[in-house]
Amino acid sequence: MAYRSFEELDVWKRSCKLAVEIYLTLKACKEFSLRDQMNKAAVSISSNIAEGAERNSVKEFIRFLHIAKGSSAELRTQLYIAEKIGILTAKTTRPLITETKEISSMLQGLIKSKELKTKL
């Protein structure tokens, strides 16, 4: 069954939840530059899924899914950095890193399924 709206996509739901977790986790962080960059990367994942889905073009949707996947990798990198410089603990970053990996995997699966449909 095809989805009717991006709000139905599990990857969009999970990426929204991740963005909220990042915002709450970094709420008291005084490293404003890294905090803001991490918040932007987190929000960018779900935002690009939504924007691509609303473009009414499979090619455009795929392009925005790739951008979302890049934002997930960007956030994962920033989580590693935040841990290494002592802003976040490993206990905090590990589940968030795992979630970014799973979201990236879901995005890759969605990209592949969309690419297959364009070849049919």
Q: How far apart are CA 58 and CA 92, in angstroms?
A: 36
pTM over 0.75: yes
- CATH class of the domain comprising 6-119: mainly alpha
Delimit the domains of the chain by residue range: 6-119
Q: What is the pLDDT of residue 96?
A: 98
Residue 84: Cβ within 10 Å count = 11
Say yes or no to pLDDT of 105 above 70.
Answer: yes
Count of residues making up the chain: 120
For 102-109, what is the mean pLDDT? 98
Nearest by Cα to 105 from 3, 8, 11, 5: 11
pLDDT range class, residue 117, cuts 50, 70, 90? confident
Average pLDDT, integer, range 82-101? 98
Cα angle 49, 50, 54 (rounded to 5 degrees) comes to 115
pLDDT at residue 1, as a whole number: 46
Q: What pLDDT shows up at residue 7?
A: 96
pLDDT in tens, 42-76: 999 999 999 999 998 999 999 999 999 999 999 99
